[in-house]
Structure 1
Amino acid sequence: MRNFKALTLLLLVSFATIGCFEDNDDIPIATSKINDFVWKGMNLFYLYKDDVPDLANNRFSSNNSEYADYLNSFQRPENLFESLIYNRENVDRFSWIVDDYIALEQFFSGISSNNGMEYQLFKFSTTGTNQYGVVTHVLPNTDAEAKGIKRGDIFYGIDNVQLTEGNKSQLLRQNNYTINLGAYNDNGTPEVSDDSVNTTSESISLSKSIYTENPILVNSVLNVGNTKIGYLMYNGFTGTNQFNTELNTVFGSFKSNNINELVLDLRYNPGGSVYTAIILSSLITGQFTGDVFSTEQWNMEFQEVYQNQNPELLINKFINNDNGASLNSLNLTKVYVLTTKRSASASELIINSLRPYIDVVQIGTTTAGKYQASTTLYDSPNFRREDANQGHAYAMQPLIFKSLNVNGVTDYFNGLTPDIVLGEQFNNLGILGNQNEPLLAAAISRIMGTGRFTKSKSNFLKITNGSEDFEPFETGMYVEKELPLNLINNFLFE
């Protein structure tokens, strides 16, 4: 039996148009009120609720003072939220809470403060603390592009301070900083164990500004012999109507050019909208409209309600249109996907959900290992953006379900392992979209049947972080769907 009465819940997990927010100082609100929102939201939706004793429905007696004392024992909503996370290190690495949901909404729409330099951090020694950055790509029309930064540039310091495990977050989260460039030294051997970065006197100052990133970084048709290969570097499942339309347009170009093969480059894609993942998978295929793309597994209570009343709502299906606009589907039976450790959530959902239907050839390194989806919860009677409490701007992004493909495959905590293991060489990254770029070249070689690759992991450096790790928010995998009132009224009212 639940010990509080919740208002009827209609969860709309889409992001409203960004508007004005009243000054919090005009409408002060006690921390305990925000904590009440945190606990109730997590009690209702959290995927791992059944594993957290403090989220049990019978955790508090009918005497409200016990619940009030519990809430008042946490001085900050962040502290309460973190106390409710199940096994942060090994299971739930991806739930989070923010104190500015307007900035969060902007971020999910692709808007952030950015200088345009996207990078990975790595280190040579498993025991040393020094780290180094390598530029993976530069966003167009940004300060980094204007300053001439390019893919493959190496930096060892920020503001003349050597990057380390301990200072990297503070240094790289600044709005303005100077990178100290270095030169990669492979010491004339093919192994990486003796590689190093030599310092130089060259430095470049960078400034962040508000920027809207188009997830379509590169798209082209490559003519290799008599084969036409479509290539798409897709860097985020942003989920906006504009970018979904542009994605459909790219596939329209692929279709009109009669491509024979497709290379989907997700190596730097941290994920995002489940709906956009469904669109992209449906564009790649097209012959499976109406079939199961993925299914969802919620916490025990929500799962039971779904199973008993409308199990179809647990199923995401392949589609043939985007809000009425026909998809330019290719009807392919094979796709080549390029991945790294930075390929996460919705990127992994694409691979896992397509594998039962078509041949997915994964090339690169093992993915991040995120199979759970989250949603944004606001402090309102129904947890929607509308009527959100104007006394604060807290919102939560808890995991609410995990995704399974049509065969029930999920829980790939350690990531998805590639068929062809090939790490990026930081002293030979190549040009994205160029046929000679190593990962793309490997895909072309497999397509044309001109080479063999072994699963050797000994000749590339392991990355420690990507630039997205220093954003104010995580992208993750999130859903945009409604939960109908008639499905859950009985669940909320007892």
Structure 2
Amino acid sequence: MKRYYFILLVLTLLSCSKTDEFELPSTINPTSGEVAVQDFMWKAMNFWYFWQEEVPDLADDRFQNTTEGREAYTAFLASEENPADFFRNRLQFNEDRFSFFNADYRELTNSLAGISRSNGVQFGLVRLANGQNLFGYVRYILPNSDGATKAIERGDLFTGVDGQPLTDANFRDLLFGDNNTYTLDMAEFIDGEVTPNDKEVTLTKQEALAENPVFISKIFEINGESIGYLMYNKFTNEYDDDLYNAFEAFGTSGVDNLIVDLRYNPGGSVNTTRLLASMIYGTNTSDLFLRKRYNDKIQAQRSTSQLEVYFADRVGSRTINSLELPKLYVLTSGSSASASELLINSLEPYMDIIQIGDVTRGKNEFSTTLVDDRDNSYLYTPSRVDKINPNNQWAIQPLLGRNENADGFSDFTSGLVPDIQQREDLSNLGTLGDQNEPLLARAIQEIIGVAGKRNFTVKVPIKIMGSSQMMDPLHNKMTDDTHYNLE
């Protein structure tokens, strides 16, 4: 099937079975301990960063291991007192959209595990026609959250927070700031316009709110077709067993058609993406799932077996009973990114992929979490947290490379274009998991072959410019966790 791709980003950890096989270059040490964080950042980026050769200050010969060289290196590290500024201004390539950092690796890794500080209201942000102000629309509510106890639901609109209209200049502070509680100023459609009303909803953020990404798993029996539907909202490896259980139910029920809804999925674990692909397509561990492309320094040290990742036949100790489907229906939006795009791209050589919805985000690089564990090549590994330098809790999540599919394709920076383009309709969002919800209904119509029965005209198409996930470390990222998840 011919497909036009436009690129994405993906987060992934590394497929190294033994990290001590890496030969780290000899590195110069600073003359002061006050720049320990910057020293860690420079050395980790000098070795791992995909664009290391494009950043002159990361060159292997940038500093000489002499008295003068060490002094110059220390002065360079001290040129930015704040490590965050040092990372952004001195190390990050100007075309890099997605590398990031956190002052506490535990906060970052918790977020990657689907644990966050949230009130549970998942929303999208859209620009009003005047181009200055924004409004939000509710996508879904997380179970067991504060939002689940309030009078707010999918499709509700809001134009302000605490009496302040949302703008480009203030929405981050109002919605993602340190405020534990805020009040949404609600709105509604009147004559096609987003119009504030007198309703308010007060919400409180909860610490360590966990989101199970297996949000909806259902089976429809329609016109003799057994159709499985999975709304999957993050590739979070802590919930691989829940994903496995959903597919066991699909298999037991004899599902012969599958719709995977990734419209709100910003990415996540590469290894979980591999497991999901295996549950859908097959468990032949000789079939190539992806091939990694690092910087020249890493690529030269990796064998073919360390660069290639294959389909899986197990989730932990449990055997995968794959559906072995020839065709897959995938629902996407502009919020589908990274590992979501990886799933589509890596299955493309093996299956007929019918993509329905909007163009995806376009993120084709993967990253990993690096910490100050120098004996482990800076790789964050859960079993080695006691080896991390106790005086440096910073973590960085730089882009390490790109993942190619079995056909060698990885060039989709502008996003993956759907076969059937249909944006969500603000005037008719529908109920998630209901067979009449517009995007799901369009996929069902494609499966059962009943054309002309329903009008799918979108009256108020959503052009997303942000979402409740945009400050999440998983947002638009693909985390390569295969170096400790591969069997």
- TM-score normalised by the shorter chain: which range applies? 0.7 to 0.9
Number of equivalenced pairs: 444
Pairing of 1:95-494 with structure 2 (within 5 A): 95-125=99-129, 128-173=131-176, 174-185=179-190, 187=191, 195-210=192-207, 211-240=209-238, 243-286=239-282, 288-306=284-302, 310-382=303-375, 383=378, 384=380, 385-451=385-451, 460-471=461-472, 474=475, 476-482=477-483
Residue 477 of structure 2 aligns to a residue in which SS?
coil
- 1:475 Cα deviation after fit: 6.4
Q: Normalising by the residue count of structure 2, what TM-score does the alignment of the two structures yield? A: 0.87
The CA distance in 2 between the partners of 1:423 and 1:239, in whole Å, is 29
Counterpart residue number, 2:3: none
One-letter code aligned to 2:433? G
Aligned residues of 1:297 and 1:314 also touching (Cα < 8 A) = yes
Give the alignment's TM-score, normalised by structure 1: 0.86
1:64 aligns with 2:62: no
Shift of 1:110: 1.2
3-state SS of 1:204 partner: strand
CA contact (8 A) 2:112 2:473 kept: no
Q: Is the 1:122–1:465 contact (alpha carbons within 8 Å) kept by the matching residues of 2?
A: yes
Q: Distance in 1 between matches of 2:187 and 2:285?
A: 51
Q: How far does the alpha carbon of each residue in 1:289-319 deviate from its partner, in whole angstroms, 9 at most, with x for none?
A: 320011100001111222xxx2111111011
Q: Per the alignment, do residues 158 and 445 of structure 1 end up closer, same or farther by CA in structure 2, a change over 3 Å counting? A: same
- Tell me by how many angstroms 1:33 deviates: 1.1
CA contact (8 A) 1:137 1:151 kept: yes
CA–CA distance in 1 between the matches of 2:148 and 2:325? 36
Q: Aligned equivalents of 2:63 and 2:359: distance in 1? A: 44
User: 1:305-338: per-residue Cα shift (whole Å, max 9, x none)?
Assistant: 22xxx21111110111112210131000001000
Unmatched 5+ stretches in structure 2: 1-17, 23-31
Please give the alpha-carbon distance, in whole angstroms, between the structure 2 residues aligned to 1:456 and 1:305.
Answer: 53
Partner-residue secondary structure (3-state), 2:343: helix
- Over the matched positions of the two proteins, sequence identity in percent amounts to 37
CA–CA separation in structure 2 for the residues paired with 1:454 and 1:181: 30
Deviation track 1:87-139 (CA, whole Å, cap 9, x = no partner) reads: 44xx32110111011111211111111111000000133x6210000000011
Contact 2:425 2:458 in 1 (8 A): no
Deviation at 1:392, TM superposition (A): 3.1
User: What is the deviation of 1:258?
Assistant: 0.5
> Measured at CA, do residues 455 and 351 of structure 1 come closer, stay the same or move farther in structure 2, by a change above 3 Å?
farther
Match of 1:73 among 76, 79, 82: 79
Q: Deviations over 1:398-429 (max 9, x none)?
A: 11111111111113111111000000011210
Distance across 1 between alignment mates of 2:311 and 2:473: 33
Distance in 2, matches of 1:339 and 1:326, equals 29
Which stretch shifts more, 169-178 or 227-236?
A: 169-178
Q: Which structure has more RCO (C-alpha within 8 Å, separation ≥ 6)?
A: 2
AA of the residue aligned to 1:451: A
Cα 1:59/1:405, change in 2 over 3 Å: same
Q: Is the 8 A contact 2:268 2:474 kept in 1?
A: no
1:33 is the counterpart of 2:33: no
Q: Which whole-Å CA distance do the structure 2 matches of 1:196 and 1:315 have between them?
A: 51
* 1:46 equivalenced with 2:49 (yes/no): yes
Q: Using the alignment, how far apart are the partners of 1:148 and 1:11 within structure 2?
A: 56
CA contact (8 A) 1:108 1:475 kept: no
Runs (4+) of structure 1 exceeding 3 A deviation are 8-12, 84-88, 452-459, 470-475
- Separation (CA, whole Å) in 2 of partners of 1:296 and 1:87: 20
CA contact (8 A) 1:380 1:386 kept: no
Give the match for residue 15 of structure 1: none
Q: CA deviation at 1:180?
A: 0.8
Unmatched segments (≥5 aa) in structure 1: 1-7, 13-28, 188-194, 484-494
State which drifts further: 130-139 or 97-106: 97-106
